[in-house]
Amino acid sequence: MRKLVFFLCLACATAFVMYPRGGGVDIDMVSVPGAKVQGGPSNAFWAYEGVFTARRKLDVASFQLGRFPVTKDQYRAVMEGNPLGVDADPSFSSNDPLYPLCEGETDGSRPVEGVTWYDALYFCNLLSARNGYKEVYQISSPRLEDGHITGAVVSVVPKADGYRLPTEVEWEFAARGGKPGSPAWNYMYAGLDSMARYGAEAPEIDAGQDSVAWYRYNSCGGGVTVDGEYFIEGNAGWGSHQVGLKKPNTLGLYDMSGNVWEWCQDRYAVIDETTPIGGADFGDLRCCRGGAWYCAASCSVVSRRGGDIMDRQSPYIGFRVARSKKKLFF
């Protein structure tokens, strides 16, 4: 049977989503100082070029970024009873026994996943309204399918001060610690240097990564190996994990490497010397960064880029929120 798709509209006019006010939800935000960055090949790891490899000068303004990915509890608190009827508990880990909860972890503190890029934008607007900020996104003609926004016309409200997705430049800048030229800027993972970075090929398994990231080869009970056997699909811990259990990077940001991929604002496209700081204006995919629990070590390298279709609902993709302190990049 074909899925029933609802087009939300008002008569023949374009529908603009309205947002209820009041009932703030606390999000722990980290202030990220800005800096000027000179791009170049030295910022890459292996073939993972990131956003700072092209020879362009970037003036990154200060901004705020969520200390953790948005959790299931936070998502539910904001989305419960939302006007569009978007699912307030979309995570695969809530509905599928394949993704069990590890002993000692709290389910509501796992990152929300199973959200489309549009769902994440809608959450940002609802959170802004509840916390007294101006919504960044104007979302019109939303298409709702099985509790998810799978299409909409999206534009950005100039000078809005609300919550939003980080740009890809902001995300990688923060993952690297926000201080070009510092030792942490050249850490392979967010908050961790690794001898594997000196190898000829990207690692699939990196025991050192266990201290900062959840990825394919660690699980509830510990690290890469137990009695010489790799943790593989079906072992305890096959799924997302409670945020904040691994070590943070130098800015105090957690889970920037591993756990779940994170949606970013930008379109996914080749970056060159002419690409604006806010990303390319073409491309059908949206950027995802950070790697995930199902992926090998190389996915979590700070310069590793990924992209996916905007209506994707995946157990591997979540998001964290940002706020501008001075200006929007896009």
- Taking alpha carbons only, the member of 166, 69, 68, 75 closest to residue 127 is 75
Q: Exposed e or buried b for every residue in 254-280, given b needs 16+ CB within 10 A?
A: bbbbbbbbbbbbbbbbebeeebebbbb
Query: Would you tell me how many other CB atoms lie within 10 Å of the CB of residue 15?
Result: 17
Supply the pLDDT for residue 13.
34
The answer to whether the beta carbons of residues 184 and 249 sit under 8 Å apart is yes
Which residues lie closer than 8 Å to 37 by C-beta, 6 or more apart? 52, 57, 58, 59, 60, 173, 180
Supply the pLDDT for residue 197.
73
- Stated length of the chain: 330
* Rounded CA separation 217/231 (Å): 5
* Cα distance from N-terminal residue to C-terminal residue, the chain: 40
The answer to whether the beta carbons of residues 240 and 110 sit under 8 Å apart is yes
Supply the pLDDT for residue 15.
57
Q: Can you give the pLDDT of all 330 residues of the chain as single tens digits? A: 333 333 333 333 345 676 767 677 899 999 999 999 999 999 988 889 999 999 999 999 999 999 999 999 999 999 999 999 999 999 999 988 888 888 899 999 999 999 999 999 999 999 999 999 999 999 999 999 999 999 999 999 988 999 999 999 999 999 999 999 999 999 999 999 987 776 767 888 887 888 999 988 887 766 654 444 544 444 445 789 999 999 999 999 999 999 999 999 999 999 999 999 999 999 999 999 999 998 888 999 999 999 999 999 999 999 999 999 776 666
- With 0-12 / 13-18 / 19 or more C-beta atoms within 10 angstroms meaning exposed / middle / buried, residue 195 is exposed
Rounded to two decimals, the pTM is: 0.91
HEC string for the chain: CCCCEEECCECCECCECCCCCCCCCCCCEEEECCEEEECCHHHCECCECCCCCCCCEEEECCEEEECCCCEHHHHHHHHCCCCCCCCCCCCHHHHCCCCCCCCCCCHHHCECCCCCHHHHHHHHHHHHHHCCCCCCEEEEEEEEECCEEEEEEEEECCCCCCEECCCHHHHHHHHCCCCCCCHHHHCCECCECCHHHHCCCCCCCCHHHHHCCCCCCCECCECCEECCEECCCCCCCCCCCCCCCCCCCCCCCCCCCCCCEEEEEEECCCCCCCCCCCCCCCCCEEEEECCCCCCCHHHHCCCCEEEEECCCCCCCEECCCEEECCCCCC
Supply the pLDDT for residue 1.
37
Q: Give the Å distances, CA to CA, from 129 to 63, 78, 321, 328.
A: 19, 10, 14, 18
Q: Give the Å distances, CA to CA, from 23 to 29, 112, 131.
A: 18, 20, 7
Supply the pLDDT for residue 221.
61
Supply the pLDDT for residue 330.
63
- HSE-CB of 157 using CA atoms within 13 angstroms: 19
* Rounded CA separation 264/15 (Å): 25
